[in-house]
Amino acid sequence: MRIDIVSIFPDYLAPLRLSLPGKAIDRGILELGVHDLRSWTRDVHRSVDDTPYGGGPGMVMRPDVWGECLDDVCPDDALLVVPTPAGVPFTQATAEEFSTESHLVFACGRYEGIDQRVFDDAARRVRVREVSIGDFVLIGGEVAVMAMIEATVRLIPGVLGNNESHEQDSFSDGILEGPAYTRPQQWRGLSVPPVLLSGDHARIAAWRHEQGLARTEALRPDLLAGPTVSAGPDHTA
């Protein structure tokens, strides 16, 4: 898989080269390109924003600079992912869909977002997904992109080590994971649930499922209400 990211703060994405994505890069499973949007500016001030038509607070990112950048960075077979508060929810299903792509391009906006015509124009030749990572407003797209990349890259075969796996992920089977424990068996007067010491793998699996179900009912009853909308193949934003 190749991932390209465009941002006016490329250094913000440096942590992606640590830990998991970094290991995937070192092992040749992932290629990562980070691009400074200002490289596509043509004015002496290297301007990337302007005042919004129709008035309102803040600034909007210019279509001309973004358009020329995506012409260079985003080929027709790539999936263009645009983080925004006004997007389709990014879920584990979205991460699974993204993990099967050969080329992802992430456009990190700032200010009040990017001129909509950038995505309308891009949609003429590439698949575009406008995606939200949650119902809260960030200052820009970089943090959202890092979260989406981590959730996506860990699903690529060979990225997680033998001791880690995503088959039992929260959300992958629609319910939350139950509690986890490790040594010591007694800690500050608290014990590990005896079933986990029993060696009876069927009982342990059943207990973990019950715990996950109870946690889901208590904290996320919405997950038990049935299928939700998310940014996937049938939801073009």
Task: Report which residue's Cβ sits closest to ligand JFE.
Answer: 113
56 near ligand JFE, rule: CB under 6 A: no
Asked about 169 being catalytic, the answer comes back as yes
Residue 106 in the binding site for ligand JFE (CB under 6 A): no
- Exactly one of 77, 112, 120, 173 is catalytic; which is it? 112
Q: Report if residue 86 touches ligand JFE, rule: CB under 6 A.
A: yes
Distance in Å, CB of 49 to ligand JFE, minimum: 11
- Nearest CB to ligand JFE, comparing residues 152 and 212: 152
- Contact range with ligand JFE by CB under 6 A, out of 9-17, 35-43, 77-85, 154-162: 77-85
The rounded distance, in Å, linking the Cα atoms of 222 and 236 is 23
Is residue 85 within the footprint of ligand JFE (CB under 6 A)? Answer: yes
80 binds ligand JFE (CB under 6 A): no
Scanning 47-55, 64-72, 109-117, 183-191 for contacts with ligand JFE by CB under 6 A, the matching segment is 109-117
The one-letter code for the residue type at 68 is E
The residue ranges that bind ligand JFE (CB under 6 A) are 83-86, 109-110, 112-113, 132-134, 136-141, 144
Q: Active-site residues: which are they?
A: 85, 112, 154, 169
